[in-house]
Amino acid sequence: MSEGKTYTIHKSKKSLVDRFMTARESLRRSLEDTSHRLEIIREFDGTEYINDARSSDLLSTRDSLKCIQKPVIWLAATTPHERDYALIEKYVKYKVKCLVVYGGSGDDMQYKLGHLVEKFASCKSLRDAVAEARGLGSKDDAVIFSPSCVPTDDYSNFADRGSAFISYVNELE
């Protein structure tokens, strides 16, 4: 070897898939450490029910959808405020099987996202939305309650909404 030169051995790079899977697992672990965030409540007839009531915006819901590897039935809340659904369209198209909204007509969500899912349903209350999702879920699906907006419904905060969701899921037969 000649003086002044240093030689290095390059380690093989992780594949993109390995890096993606590692990042997904890291995100999932960090989100699970928070109550009402990707909290698995129960499995019913092979369908997982997940409380993600802490997701009070579309970006939080998008992060949650990234972590779920099953077909998703998404329970969302309606809001009178404008939302940029472009932030989540790709995830709805490829991960969400059915979209169930509650709290109003959901016309904006149906118009922007309804064509991306197999079924779109609108319900008056969270209890009705949970019952509707029960009829839509099948083995190996995940029902995720991820409101994606701040509370404008009967609940004062995300914890109240999450607790109500847990109660309604536990009432299912």
Across-strand partners of 99?
A: 74, 120
| 113 and 89 Cβ atoms separated by less than 8 Å | yes
Specify the residue for token string 């369908």.
47
Are 145 and 72 a contacting pair, CB within 8 Å? Answer: no
* Structure tokens belonging to residue 169: 């899921």
Handedness of CA 62, 127, 47, 134 (dihedral sign): negative
pTM of structure: 0.78
Architecture of domain 36-171: Alpha-Beta Complex (3.90)
- Quick: pLDDT tens for 75-101: 999 888 888 999 999 999 999 999 999
Q: What is the pLDDT along the chain (173 residues), one digit of tens a residue?
A: 555 665 544 455 557 777 767 776 766 665 555 676 789 999 988 999 999 999 989 999 999 999 899 999 999 998 888 889 999 999 999 999 999 999 887 888 999 999 999 999 999 999 999 999 999 988 999 999 999 887 666 788 888 899 999 999 999 87
Tell me what pLDDT residue 32 has.
Answer: 52
Backbone angles phi, psi at 51, to 5 degrees: -90, 115
